[in-house]
Amino acid sequence: MQNIKLNADIAAGILFILFGGWFCASSLLSLSFGSAFRMGPGFFPTVVGGLLLVFGVVIAINGWIAKNGTVDLAAVPWRAVVLFPVGLILFGLAMRPLGMGIALLVLCFCSSMAVKGLKPGYAVLLSLAVTAVCVAVFSFALGLNLPLIGDWLR
């Protein structure tokens, strides 16, 4: 991958503008603002969202002028960035129909594949071991009421 460099301050500023703008706009549009005496549910989020938007603009302008602090996108661990959420969501999906054992195996395998240079065989062994420990700790030691085997397999 090419070395793409990003100005950290501008990126952070834009992120804050988006968040602030969303909170501000959606509370203005759908929530009653009220008055200073009797504040409605929209008062606080509108004001704080507006403030965040202003800070975002200032941070972005600062970054444009100062140009310090760049982010190297090549350093981002892309495999983990994709595989961690995928593993977590598969875990959530598998929990009810397939049960905790299989859900954990899937999650563990996804997260071990996120580490660069790990052999698949080792990843499988590691997943089995961590799953066993988790089941032992959560189901037996702590006695949490999570289904070990899911609805579809019963």
Partner 1 sequence: MDIISNLALGFSVALAWHNIFFCFVGVLAGTLVGVLPGVGPLATIAILLPITFSMQPDSALIMLAGIYYGAQYGGSTTAILLNLPGEASSAITTLDGYQMARKGRAGPALATAALSSFFAGTVATVIIALFAAPLTQVAMAFRPPSYFSMMVLGLIASVVLAQGSILKAIAMVLLGLLLGIIGTDIYTGTARLNLGTLELADGVDFVALAIGLFGIAEILRNLESSQTREVLTNKVKGLWLSLTDFKRIIMPSIRGTAIGSALGILPGGGAMLASFAAYIIEKRVSVNRAEMGEGAIEGVAAPESANNAGSQTAFIPMLTLGLPSNAVMALMIGAMIIQGIQPGPDIILKQPGMFWGLIVSMWIGNLMLVLLNLPLIGLWVRFLTVPYPILVVSVMAFSAVGIYSASGTLFSMYELSFFALLGYVFMRLGCEPAPLTLGFILGPMMEEQLRRSMLMSRGDPTVFFTEPISLGFLIVAAAALVLISAPAIARKREEAFSEE
Residues touching partner 1, count (CB under 8 A): 74
Identify residues 29-58 at the interface with partner 1 (CB under 8 A).
30-32, 35-45, 48-49, 51-52, 55-56, 58
| Residue 28 is a binding residue for partner 1 (CB under 8 A) | no
Q: What is the per-residue burial (b if ≥16 Cβ within 10 Å, else e) of 24-55?
A: beebeeeeeeeeeeeeeebbebbeebbebbee
Tokens 């983990």 appear where?
Answer: 80
Restricting to residues 69-128, which ones interact with partner 1 according to CB under 8 A?
69, 71, 75-77, 80-81, 84-85, 87-89, 91-93, 95, 100, 104, 107-108, 111-112, 114-118, 122-123, 126-127
CB of 61 to partner 1, least distance (A): 11
Contacts 24+ apart (CB under 8 A), 81-90: 83/110, 83/111, 83/113, 83/114, 84/110, 84/111, 84/114, 86/110, 87/111, 87/114
Q: Which is nearer to partner 1, 92 or 153 (CB)?
A: 92
Task: Confirm or reject binding of residue 8 to partner 1 (CB under 8 A).
Answer: yes
The minimum distance between CB 32 and partner 1, in angstroms, equals 8
The CA distance from 118 to 110, in Å, is 12
3-state secondary structure (DSSP) of residue 118:
coil
- Position 18 contacts partner 1 (CB under 8 A): no
C-alpha of 11 from chain center: 18
27 binds partner 1 (CB under 8 A): yes
- Asked if 87 contacts 31 with a C-beta cutoff of 8 angstroms, the reply is no
Q: Which is nearer to partner 1, 34 or 153 (CB)?
A: 34
Residue 11 sits in the site that holds partner 1 (CB under 8 A): yes
